[in-house]
Amino acid sequence: MKKLRLSPQTIPMVASVAVLIVLYVGGCLAFDNFGSLRVLINLFGDNAFLGVAAIGITFVILSGGIDLSVGAVVALTSILIAGLIGHGLHPLAAIAVSLAFGAAFGALMGTLIQVFELPPFLVTLGGMFLARGLGFVVHPESLSIDHPFYGDFVSQTLSLPVTRKLSIPFTAVCLVAVVIGATMLARWSRFGRNVRAIGSSEASARLMGVPIARTKILVYTLAGALSALGGVVATFYMQSGNPASFVGLELDAIAAAVIGGTLLRGGVGFIPGTLVGVLILGVIQTLIIFQGTLNSWWTRIAVGGLLFVFILLQQLITRRKK
């Protein structure tokens, strides 16, 4: 393994881990039940869909692009699954269809970006509107999922019991599995290395023989599939689908990636860092709930403030190098 060293690339990552620890320990000292296992488990379970989607967006940012369609695709997937199950499809089939749809949606955006040299910002903005509208075409309002697969199998059978009263929800398991899989993909596959290379310097990567078009289309495909998986996890969590939900989720996802040490210019970032970023957002939310008197909007302000600090940190590091 790589030796631990405080190179400029790892400073943001170390900083975000430090922020997470400070926030968490601070919470434990300030509030009685904050340090309980239940709070910790819920931190993973409640933010699982955000985490899965944020990991998709991390790959896109690593490649030097951006994906604004994440929140809308998560919502579309959730209502698509609920709708398909409502029409009598088995949940597993509905999930498979949704994942394939998400991947195809991402592939389409990636193709437009790569083949027609369009700005990712505008194409994924179009994707966002399209997915948001399509969700309402599928079903205009919230639709609950009433199927034994969801009610018993996912909620009961698949959750891992810790104590008699406490178990780890399947959503948390999904999140951890995705983080592990994505970390391996990013670190030990040629695709993962090519994504980084393109984000760091596309011109050099081309000269070095990296397949640019294939890799970039694949990145958006992967992000689309992970957004869809985020939608799947969201249906596990909510036991329903809603086309109007997750507005602005892409902002939280981008914020989580940036706070977790991914540079928005591409090329530098860590998948576990994004998990750290997601957990920081979760801890801030939990802190505000525990505090009681502070209102929920402090979450947004705190996230914005952290985003500013980390972007500033990135800027200082990049400039120092020049």
Partner 1 sequence: MWIDLVFWAGFAGLLWVNRSRPVFWPLLALGLLLLFNRFTTPGFFDLEIRDGRLYGSLVDVINQGSKVMLLALGMTLVIATGGVDLSVGAIMAIAGAVLAQVVGVAHLSVTVAIVAALAAGLLAGAWNGLLVAGLRIQPIVATLILMVAGRGIAQLITDGQIINFEQPALVFLGNGSLFGLPFTLTLVLAMFIFTALLVRGTALGLFIEAVGDNETASHFTGLSAQRVKFLVYVFAGFCAGLAGLVAASNIKSADANHAGLYLELDAILAVVVGGTALTGGRFQLAGSLVGALLIQTLSTTLYARNVSADIAPVPKAIVILAVCLLQSPVLRGKIARLGRFLPKTKGGAA
Partner 2 sequence: MSEPILSCRGLTKRFPGVVALDGVDFFARPGEVHALMGENGAGKSTLIKALTGVHPRDAGEAVLAGKSIHPRSPREAEAAGISTVYQEVNLIPDLSVAENICLGRQETTLGFIRWGAIRERASAALARLGVAVDVDKTLSDCSIAIQQLVAIARATDISARVLILDEPTSSLDDSEVEELFTVVRRLRDEGWAIIFVSHFLDQVYALADRITVLRNGKLVGEFLAAELPRLQLVAHMMGRSINEVEALQHREPPARPAGEPLVSVRGFGRRASVRPLDLEVRRGEVLGLAGLLGSGRTEVARLLFGLDRADSGEMHVEGKPAAMRSPQASLRARFALTPEDRKSQAILPNLTVRENLIIALQARRGIWRKIPRQEQDRLVSQFTRALGIKTSSPEQLIRNLSGGNQQKVILARWLATEPRLLLLDEPTRGIDVGAQADIERLLAKLRDEGLAIIFICADTAELARNSQRIAVMRDRAKVAELTGADLNEQAIMRAIAHGDASHPSS
**Binding site residues, partner 2, CB under 8 A:** 2-3, 5, 7-9, 184, 187-190, 193, 196-197, 199-201, 203-205, 207-210, 267-268, 321
| Partner whose binding site includes residue 123, from partner 2, partner 1, none (CB under 5 to 8 Å by kind) | partner 1
54, interface contact from partner 2, partner 1, none, CB < 5-8 Å by kind: none
At position 139, the amino acid (one-letter code) is H
If the CB atoms of residues 137 and 184 are measured against partner 2, the closer one turns out to be 184
Q: Which is nearer to partner 1, 71 or 192 (CB)?
A: 71
98 vs 215 by CB, closer to partner 2 = 215
Bridge partners, 160 (sequence order) = 168
Q: Which is nearer to partner 1, 39 or 73 (CB)?
A: 73
* Closest approach of partner 2 to the CB of residue 211, in Å: 9
Burial class (CB within 10 angstroms; exposed 0-12, middle 13-18, buried 19+) of 106: buried
Smallest distance, Å, CB 203 to partner 1? 18
Give 54's Cβ-side CA count (13 Å radius): 34
Comparing C-alpha atoms, which of 252, 310, 268 is closest to residue 70?
252
Give the Cα separation of 35 and 265 in Å (integer). 36
Write down the number of H helices and E strands in the chain. Answer: 14, 4
Cβ-based nearer residue to partner 1, 171 or 314: 314
| Distance, CA of 159 to CA of 208 (rounded, Å) | 46
Say if residues 43 and 284 touch (Cβ distance below 8 Å). no
Distance linking the first and last C-alpha atoms of the chain: 29
261 binds, among partner 2, partner 1, none (CB under 5 to 8 A by kind): none
Compute the least distance from the CB of residue 243 to partner 1, in Å: 7
**Which residues here bind partner 1, judged by CB under 8 A?**
66, 112, 115-119, 121-123, 125-130, 132-134, 136-137, 140, 243-244, 247, 251, 254-255, 264-265, 295-305, 307-308, 311-312, 315
Cα 283 to Cα 28: distance, rounded to the nearest angstrom: 11
Tell me which of partner 1, partner 2, none is bound by residue 164, counting a contact when its beta carbon lies within the kind-specific cut-off of 5 to 8 angstroms.
none
